[in-house]
Amino acid sequence: MTRLFGTNGVRGVVNQDMNPDLALDLGRAIGTYYARRKEKPFIAMGTDARISNHMLKSACTSGLLSVGCNVEDLGILPTPALQYAVKEKDYDAGVIITASHNPPQFNGIKVVDLDGTELSKEQEEEIEDIYFSKSFRIVSWDKVGQLSAWDGAGELYIKGILSKVDTEAIRKANLHVVLDCGNGAGAVVTPELLRRLGCKLTEVNCELDGFFRGRPSEPVPENLGELMERVREVGADLGVAQDGDADRAIFIDEKGNYIFGDQSFSLLARYIIRGRKGIVVTPVSTSSSLEEVVTREGGKVIYTRVGSPIVARVMKEVKAVFGGEENGGLIFPEHQYCRDSAMTIAKMLELLAKEEKSLSELISELPRYELVKTKITCPNDRKEDVLRRIKDVVSSQQDVRKIDDTDGVKIYLEDGWVLVRPSGTEPIFRIFAESKDRGKAEELADSYKRLVEDMVSTS
């Protein structure tokens, strides 16, 4: 069966694959699924700032109402703010219309469970079954759901974050922050949060704009030139950029340098683990700098398959104190089990207030690793065979220290590691190679790329 849900909900180009018909039937399927647990499910609905948000929200809401769910419209919100509202209030689930960092022509639909976490694969498959078989619940005219609206979710979310950081220390530090929301949903709450934390605020792209006119939504270095420039210009203590649905945050140091997500992750992990120990959870693709930092402080890293819902679930199971991904998506369990950029920003401000060093100094204290990424095309139906043969070959290699097959195959060598991972969405293998030495990382990436190419061409 064709999969509907990808790694992050259902996504597509608006009015091509992501159209009102799909949103309507998906609304019916989601509602039918929740109606198996409860006669009249109460569903929270939110969107990011894309121009197709009303079209898809209306269709999806109609589907939910038609199968007997009550729906509450929370308006434009960051994804984590909707998740927080679902967790804190009496909703049975939440739906957010968003395509995160994708270009403006995309949109998507993501479902969160009653505790605010993203659905498991099994739950998504059950909804897919209902969708493809069109076995929607049918209710009589008097059981059709009702629509309400609530505009308090942003305030609830801001208060939730303020209650989990040392606001007094942050206010005393008087930090100057340049915030770049990328015209995305973060603009609804993040400037207000920073003002309440007593920060001096310089705003870049903090107006909602469904065309993302300020910059492309993905917070990668090539998209943050303006932010880096502004940090230097105004002499700020730091800069921060969010993606379109504000679950990820990327930082800029006071000199205007881009800080990669694995570095801010390591820095916050050190701060959280220090003197407390505990477990940090992350996918196998994350830099070894995290493990080095966490182990040094007496903590432990547990690796998972790639995907933030998996990280969140494992964090819950092992009672981790922190977790996240190398792309700036970090999870604070005392707040909620999902990636949350505003919480990440507040925690980073607390760290800066307490450590009394500049962000660039703090980053320079971390171990440095070089990561090289590459990819190779491989038809989806041959991936399994290719992967099995790669495992066979590497298990007999002399220089291999350890093999981890949590997700694809991760090969630990004397001076680095290589991860060969089949993409869940595209007909490719992704290859990550990491070492402390740039040349060595490139050499590893090249040699394993050749190995995988051989396997693909001979399979």
| Residues tagged active-site | 100
Judged by CB, which is closer to Mg ion: 118, or 245?
A: 245
Candidate ranges 134-142, 212-220, 246-254, 371-379; the one touching Mg ion (CB under 5 A): 246-254
Judged by CB, which is closer to Mg ion: 243, or 253?
A: 243
Judged by CB, which is closer to Mg ion: 70, or 102?
A: 102
Task: Find the angle CA(127)-CA(144)-CA(146) to the nearest 5 degrees.
Answer: 95
**Which residue of 100, 205, 264, 308 would you call a contact of Mg ion, by CB under 5 A?**
100
- The DSSP line for 170-220 is HHHHT-EEEEE-TTSGGGGTHHHHHHHTT-EEEEES-S--TT--SS-SS--
Judged by CB, which is closer to Mg ion: 110, or 270?
A: 110
Over 165-176, what HEC string results?
A: CCHHHHHHHCCE
The residue nearest Mg ion at its CB is 100
**Are 45 and 72 spatial neighbours (Cβ–Cβ below 8 Å)?**
yes
In the chain, how many H helices and how many E strands?
15, 20
C-alpha distances in Å from residue 439, one per residue of 180, 204, 413:
34, 37, 15
**Which residue of 72, 113, 237, 245 would you call a contact of Mg ion, by CB under 5 A?**
245
Judged by CB, which is closer to Mg ion: 29, or 49?
A: 49
Judged by CB, which is closer to Mg ion: 118, or 262?
A: 118
Does 223 help bind Mg ion (rule: CB under 5 A)? no
Judged by CB, which is closer to Mg ion: 245, or 340?
A: 245
C-alpha distances in Å from residue 197, one per residue of 167, 168, 194, 241, 267:
6, 8, 5, 17, 21
Q: At its nearest, how many Å lie between Mg ion and the CB of residue 184?
A: 9
Q: At its nearest, how many Å lie between Mg ion and the CB of residue 250?
A: 11
Amino acid at 399: D
Task: Report the greatest alpha carbon distance in the chain.
Answer: 71
**Which residue of 25, 48, 237, 243 would you call a contact of Mg ion, by CB under 5 A?**
243
Q: At its nearest, how many Å lie between Mg ion and the CB of residue 309?
A: 13
Amino acid at 57: K
Q: At its nearest, how many Å lie between Mg ion and the CB of residue 258?
A: 18
Candidate ranges 93-101, 113-121, 282-290, 440-448; the one touching Mg ion (CB under 5 A): 93-101
Does 118 help bind Mg ion (rule: CB under 5 A)? no
How many residues at the interface with Mg ion, by CB under 5 A? 4
**Are 203 and 195 spatial neighbours (Cβ–Cβ below 8 Å)?**
no
Judged by CB, which is closer to Mg ion: 243, or 262?
A: 243
**CA distance linking residue 259 with residue 327, whole number of Å:** 11
**Are 23 and 59 spatial neighbours (Cβ–Cβ below 8 Å)?**
yes
CA-wise closest residue to 64 among 90, 91, 82, 100? 91
Q: At its nearest, how many Å lie between Mg ion and the CB of residue 306?
A: 15
CA-wise closest residue to 305 among 332, 278, 286? 286
> Three-class SS of residue 128?
helix
Does 327 help bind Mg ion (rule: CB under 5 A)? no
Spell out, one character per residue from 42 to 81, where the chain touches Mg ion: x when CB under 5 A holds, - when not: ----------------------------------------
**CA distance linking residue 30 with residue 33, whole number of Å:** 5
Q: At its nearest, how many Å lie between Mg ion and the CB of residue 299?
A: 27
**Which residue of 25, 218, 247, 291 would you call a contact of Mg ion, by CB under 5 A?**
247
In the numeric block, which tokens belong to residue 210?
């469904």
Candidate ranges 138-146, 241-249, 340-348, 394-402; the one touching Mg ion (CB under 5 A): 241-249
Q: At its nearest, how many Å lie between Mg ion and the CB of residue 107?
A: 13
Does 340 help bind Mg ion (rule: CB under 5 A)? no
**CA distance linking residue 295 with residue 18, whole number of Å:** 45
Rounded to a whole number of angstroms, the distance between the first and last alpha carbons of the chain is 25
**Are 50 and 210 spatial neighbours (Cβ–Cβ below 8 Å)?**
yes
Amino acid at 301: V
Q: At its nearest, how many Å lie between Mg ion and the CB of residue 246?
A: 7
**CA distance linking residue 63 with residue 49, whole number of Å:** 21
Q: Beta-strand (E) ranges in 77-138?
A: 93-97, 106-112
Q: What are the residues binding Mg ion (CB under 5 A)?
A: 100, 243, 245, 247
